Amino acid sequence: MFVDTGVAPNPYVFAVGCPRSGTTLLQRMLDNHPALAVANDSHFIPLAVRNVPLDVDPPLTGELVDWVRSYRRFHRLGLADEQVARAARGAGTYAEFVAGLYTAYAAAHGKRLAGEKTPDYVKHLPRLHALFPAARFVHIVRDGRDVALSALEWARDGKGPSKLSLWASEPVAVCALWWRAMVGRGMEDGVDLGTAYRQISYERLVDDPEPVLRGVSRHLGLEYTDAMANFHVGRTRDNPRLSAKSAWLPAVPGLRDWQATMGERDLVLFELLAGDLLAELGYDLADLSVTQEAAGVARRARDWWEARHVEKVLVSA
């Protein structure tokens, strides 16, 4: 269990996953723990040092502080200028500065520990682990076909995979390759993190939250509390026009259902491109007949992905 030594080891946890995989649900559950405050989508931590060697924690400079303070999502931490300045004064390196920021974030929420939920951090696990070797990581994984259904509604105007050129003509193919790359990378890098890394299933979390959250709590060295599963109490809004996220609904199974709503061509294409990972994760495959047209699209999409060096696009996004 967490031992209070008087020095808060912040950031204490990173909640990560392919976007549209339930990371916000996980963040709200973790944030409702009485000992833990989890910030939402600040993005800045690895981006500020992306040109620094992976194993280097750079000395803190005024330029680095200014970059962080002016980053377009930094305001989501809700820290006043004096809190940022205080964190900078107490730090000699970038990691120490970030630790000070998240300790201030925790204090502002009346808690000792703080973490961050930024889905795209699933691409940066080695960097984050190098900067914060004591931090824990929770990687939430959702059936990629349901992720695709969600992404097809969400990803537009440069969001997520819609920034990639093939999106305009074959968005499902892009979703499959994107999901496979994001999830696969998190799983692969997670192995190197050892006991700092825990992978959880979105479907199990929404079907029966308590046992999954108990496991996450053990991973974090925290006592489980029912408040985690009851994060929505007093916040739910009764408005059918709102999304589940905006309405602060409790964990709801079946918000997406690829079996009921995904077209046959899309299913075939997705499974041609990412069926191996779906099967590895234990998801049942539709295993439909493959048409010549779908096979050709999948082949061209895979060639495009490799030729574009999309891994570089993912890292720099």
Residue ranges per domain, the chain? 13-316
Give the type of residue at 95.
A
Q: Exposed, middle or buried, 135 (CB in 10 Å: 0-12/13-18/19+)?
A: buried
Is the per-residue pLDDT at 5 higher than 50? no
pLDDT tens digits, 86-97: 999 999 999 999
- What is the DSSP secondary structure assignment for residue 93, as one 8-state letter? B
Please provide the CATH number assigned to the domain covering 13-316: 3.40.50.300
Band of pLDDT at residue 3, cut at 50, 70 and 90: very low
Q: How confident is the model at residue 186 (pLDDT cuts 50, 70, 90)?
A: very high
Per-residue pLDDT of 142-179, as tens digits, reads: 999 999 999 999 988 788 899 998 999 999 999 999 99
* Torsion angle (degrees, nearest 10) of CA 46, 147, 230, 244: 110
The pTM for the full model equals: 0.93
pLDDT, residue 189, reads 98
- Tell me the per-residue pLDDT of 20-64, one tens digit each, with 9 for 90 and over: 999 999 999 999 999 999 999 999 999 999 999 999 999 999 999
The model's confidence at residue 256, banded by pLDDT at 50, 70 and 90, is: confident
